[in-house]
Amino acid sequence: MDIQVTRASQRAFNRAEDVFGRLTPGAMGELVAASAGIALVLSRDGTIRDVSYKSQDLALLKADQWIGRSFVEIVTPESAQKIADMLAEVAAKGISRRRQVNHDASGMEDLPVDYVLVTAEGLDGSIALGTELRRQLELQQQLINTQIDLERRNREVTEKAARYRAQFKLSEAPTMVVGGSDLRIADANGAAATYFQTTEKKLEGSNFGALIEASVRAGVLEQMTAARFSGDHVTLACPLASGQHAEISVRPFRETSAVNLIVTVNGQGTAAPAVSDRRLEAQALALLPEACVIVDEDGTVIDVNAHFIELAGLAGKSQVIDRNISDWLGASPVDMNVLVTRLKKLGLVRRFSSILNDSQGSARPVVLSASGYDSGGRQRIAISISENSRTDGHFRLQPSGDISAASDFSELIGRVPLKELIRDAADIIEKMCIEAALRQTGNNRASAADLLGLSRQSLYMKLRRYGLEDFSI
């Protein structure tokens, strides 16, 4: 780091003549040598006239042999310009800014030294006062290594926590983490939410006692509290508030400074709807060669096949079931709204361009095909997904304006300025995108603006600009 030092920022001795006036040259040299780890006496052109040092590292570098050589010659090439700048500064101002340079160690690690150049009245040249920085750099490296090690350990802990949380969330047994002090549900998996016919978010933060039938609630909570203090695994048979009878397994565990409870519910759950239909749908999904997902009219995922799980980078079906398909398909929820609208209008949708967002956070272009069918009196939509690896031919640029006489942009190189070519091409692409959005949304201007990421006012301005105000399908 370069530090600016000026004469104005220093305080000089007021009685320097009285204090130092009778010192011999040898004593002055000792004072200079004592003030720095290394001191170099330089001529005006930067030649080293004498050397003083304290570090053994400098002895290994044979600093005694620097005498008679140029200051620039004993540093690494990237430090040479710094030396030249410091010599110019000390000649002009009497003192240079403090800079770090590296001495070439000839096969060993370079020796970093922090130098400042000063001169004084009666001194023919300047003196370089240096502080060796190797120890500081070693400490900095130790700090960096420690930080890297801590980050590695934290990453390992985070990865383990993620794995255990995935096991918890993907478990088919209804499981909850209950706070030992207040018996409130701190966390719940999807199986527990399905069992109690609610959502994970509604379960989290609620009182566990509300799930137990009122007549036995106090006794069950008392036994759970006793298990917390004893540390014993307890199994309780009791009726639930929903009217079902269940067996509750309570296991205490220590979390930081508190003892909480892992509660697993074993009992008869709610009846699965349309088992035979679901089995047929699952068999059909497994036979399809492409990724496929079945959703309801609201976009909630009913089922997916193994190809979709692989394409989206998921661990299992439980990560996608009962969630909205817009979490994976489409740049925005508008994409799926457009798909459903077109499906209701046409009855079948083929080669609908969209985007798949996988679990790693990356997006890839895909092509969707969709059809609707009835399942147990409920409307279902089957969407097949294939990766779009080809370039669509309908996006070829059609020249307009000054470019209309040419069949290809390459023919205009040298005849039309590049800026005009780029401007014309950008206008053509923008107009094509607006037309495509209007077609996909059935000429719905609000949905088209959302699909393009524009405000309605901006879209209307562009429609006027390109003469598309009366656009119709």
Span 339-373, pLDDT tens digits: 888 888 888 888 888 888 887 778 888 888 888 88
Q: In the prediction, which pLDDT does 425 show?
A: 74
**CA–CA distance, 442 with 340 (Å, rounded to integer):** 12
Dmax over CA atoms of the chain, in Å, equals 111
Residue 7 clears pLDDT 80, i.e. is over it: no
| Domains of the chain: residue spans and CATH | 7-132 (3.30.450.20), 171-267 (3.30.450.20), 275-387 (3.30.450.20), 393-465 (1.10.10)
How large a percentage of the chain has pLDDT more than 70?
Answer: 85
Q: What b-and-e string marks burial along 148-163, b requiring 16 or more CB atoms within 10 Å of the CB?
A: eeeeeeeeeeeeeeee
What confidence tens digit (pLDDT) does each residue in 149-206 have? Answer: 888 888 888 777 777 777 788 778 899 999 988 999 999 988 898 889 888 889 999 9
User: Per residue in 255-271, pLDDT tens?
Assistant: 777 889 999 998 754 44
Alpha carbons 235 and 141: distance in angstroms, whole number: 55
- Record the pTM: 0.38
Computed over every residue of the chain, the mean pLDDT equals 80
pLDDT at 5: 52
- Indicate if the pLDDT at residue 102 is higher than 70: yes
Give the mean pLDDT of 228-237. Answer: 89
| Separation CA 330–CA 340 (nearest Å) | 13
Percent of the chain at pLDDT above 90? 19
Q: pLDDT for 384-419, tens place per residue?
A: 888 865 444 333 334 344 444 344 555 455 445 666
At 362 the pLDDT is 80
User: First-to-last CA distance in the chain?
Assistant: 66
Query: What is the Cα–Cα distance from 379 to 295, expressed in whole angstroms?
Result: 9
Predicted local confidence at residue 412, as pLDDT: 52
User: What is the distance between the alpha carbons of residues 60 and 64, in angstroms, rounded to a whole number?
Assistant: 10
* pLDDT score at 397: 39
150's enclosing H/E stretch is helix 134-170
Which tokens belong to 387? 């990766």
Confidence of residue 217 (pLDDT cuts 50, 70, 90): very high
pLDDT tens-digit series, residues 49-88:
999 888 777 777 788 888 999 999 889 888 899 999 999 9
Q: What type of residue is 340?
A: V
pLDDT range class, residue 379, cuts 50, 70, 90: confident
pLDDT category, 445, cuts 50, 70, 90?
Answer: confident
pLDDT at 174: 92
Sign of the C-alpha dihedral computed for residues 87, 88, 89 and 90 taken in this order: positive
Closest CA to 309 of 170, 160, 155, 163: 170
Cβ within 8 Å of residue 377, ≥6 positions away: none
Least confident of 62-66, 136-140, 209-213, 265-269: 265-269
Please report which confidence band the pLDDT of residue 282 belongs to, taking 50, 70 and 90 as the band edges.
low
| Complete DSSP assignment for 89-106 | HHHHHSB--BEEEEE--T
